[in-house]
Structure 1
Amino acid sequence: MSDTFVVEAELRSDEGKGASRRLRRLEAKVPAIIYGGDSAPVSLSLIRKDFEKHLEKEAFYSAIIEVAYDGKKEKAILKALQRHPAKDFPMHADFFRIEANKAVKVSIPLHFINEDTCVGVKLGGGRIQHTVNEVEVLALPGDLPEFIEVDMLDVQVGDIIHLSDLKLPAGVTSTALALGDDRDMGVASVLAPRGAKAASGDDDDSAEEADESEGGEES
């Protein structure tokens, strides 16, 4: 990945809901934790405005992050993020330590390309529907992609792109597909134009009425 993110953190001694609320309200900080590997979990606090700048970048959510605290840096990924349900600001972050030789599960964003030139849209009048916007993969930290492209160029009306159709980089596997072919869910599709079925049905009804009318005249 091209971006390297360094999250500056401080050790946090006070824990519990009350301490977390004070941290957020009085100090404009975000409570966090880093865990995993052979080391014990460590409670941290992050400067909210600096952390929010990282969160503005899509690559941050699937990147290898350096969490700096107490004079050291640990490589990790953002495993979970809790946001305020109404105001959307970060309320808590979980970082998971990683090792270069151990595969990790990460949700990778999907980038849908060539939607404006999609055959099913330009020629068929259809509309594109995204079923999911990210997929979970398993890979070594160094093999994790920043995003996965979904090419919509040749997708016809009624076609569905499945997980198995995605071109994953070498060393990257879909965690869903690893569980079996029945997990091969749809990722995107091109739906028929609105009213297309209704119009087709009206034509069929008209044809039937015409046939009945002609039959009546013959009798």
Structure 2
Amino acid sequence: MANPVIKAELREKAGKGSSRALRREDKIPAVIYGNKKDPVTVTVNRIELVKQLSTGGFMNTSFDIEVGGKKEMVLPRDVQFHPVTDWPMHVDFLRLAQDSTININIPVHFLNEEECPGLKAGGVLNVVRHEIEFSCPANAIPEAIEIDISGLELNDSIHISSVTLPKGVTPVIEDRDFTIATIAAPSGLKSAEAEEAEEGEGEEETAEGEGEE
């Protein structure tokens, strides 16, 4: 699958004054760096950038940035926004080699919640990790990790070992089978179970006391 393309223009001048002038022309200052090459200052079209930002997943999507007819694969690493208008003010792009891998946080999406027996019984999906850091091929970063919960019961847990991952994608945490989410029992059921446990303990203590007499 081809990367989306962002067109950019070389920027000769730097500084706050130059950046403000560019923004008035709907051009957003940006820098391309990394992969053992010198940084390059560029501008990108504000409207096109906002469109990409609005699609979601901008920060974990690899792009082909085109400057002067030449393309380089990049990954957005930082976007600065105006504190009042929330318009983008500056973007940092990291160069990526075609065969490189990168560590990146990827969101987790849960599928078939309406079919989950545990949720139907009144349970709650308790998400421990909304994002997980993975090592991924730079040219095949998944938009999200999808987890089917249609077969989970109350008090079931989802661990990373039970998740089918795309080819070449591995969790950065390798020393433990960490929890991603659980189907937690509703508070009413927890209270009832606690009361039953306390009653059971009380009956045992009474029986033990009678036996001693």
| TM-score bracket for this pair, using the shorter chain length | 0.7 to 0.9
Residue 47 of structure 2 aligns to a residue whose secondary structure is helix
* Residues 1:185 and 1:91: Cα distance change in structure 2 (over 3 Å): farther
**TM-score of the aligned structures, taking structure 2 as reference length:** 0.80
**Which position in structure 1 is the counterpart of 2:151?**
154
**Which position in structure 2 is the counterpart of 1:23?**
22
- CA deviations 1:159-204 (Å, max 9, x no partner) are 2323333211222111222xx22xx443222222133323444556
**Cα RMSD over matched residues?**
2.9
Residue 48 of structure 2 aligns to a residue whose secondary structure is helix
Deviation at residue 51 of structure 1 after TM alignment: 0.6
**Which position in structure 1 is the counterpart of 2:125?**
128
Q: Distance in 2 between matches of 1:169 and 1:115?
A: 22
User: Which blocks of at least 5 consecutive residues in structure 1 are unaligned?
Assistant: none
**Which position in structure 1 is the counterpart of 2:168?**
171
Q: Distance in 2 between matches of 1:95 and 1:163?
A: 30
**Which position in structure 1 is the counterpart of 2:8?**
9
**Which position in structure 2 is the counterpart of 1:109?**
107
Deviation at residue 74 of structure 1 after TM alignment: 1.1
Report the count of equivalent residues. 207
Q: Distance in 1 between matches of 2:17 and 2:128?
A: 39
Q: Distance in 2 between matches of 1:16 and 1:176?
A: 41
How does 1:81-100 map onto structure 2 within 5 Å?
81-85=79-83, 87-100=85-98
User: Which blocks of at least 5 consecutive residues in structure 2 are unaligned?
Assistant: none
**TM-score of the aligned structures, taking structure 1 as reference length:** 0.78
Query: What amino acid sits opposite 1:169 in the alignment?
Result: P
- CA deviations 1:14-55 (Å, max 9, x no partner) are 32345434433x223322111111321111211111111112
Residue 115 of structure 2 aligns to a residue whose secondary structure is coil
Residue 54 of structure 1 aligns to a residue whose secondary structure is helix
* Residues 1:20 and 1:165: Cα distance change in structure 2 (over 3 Å): farther
Identity rate, percent: 37
For the 8 Å contact 1:30–1:92, the answer to whether it is kept is yes
Q: Distance in 1 between matches of 2:61 and 2:137?
A: 12
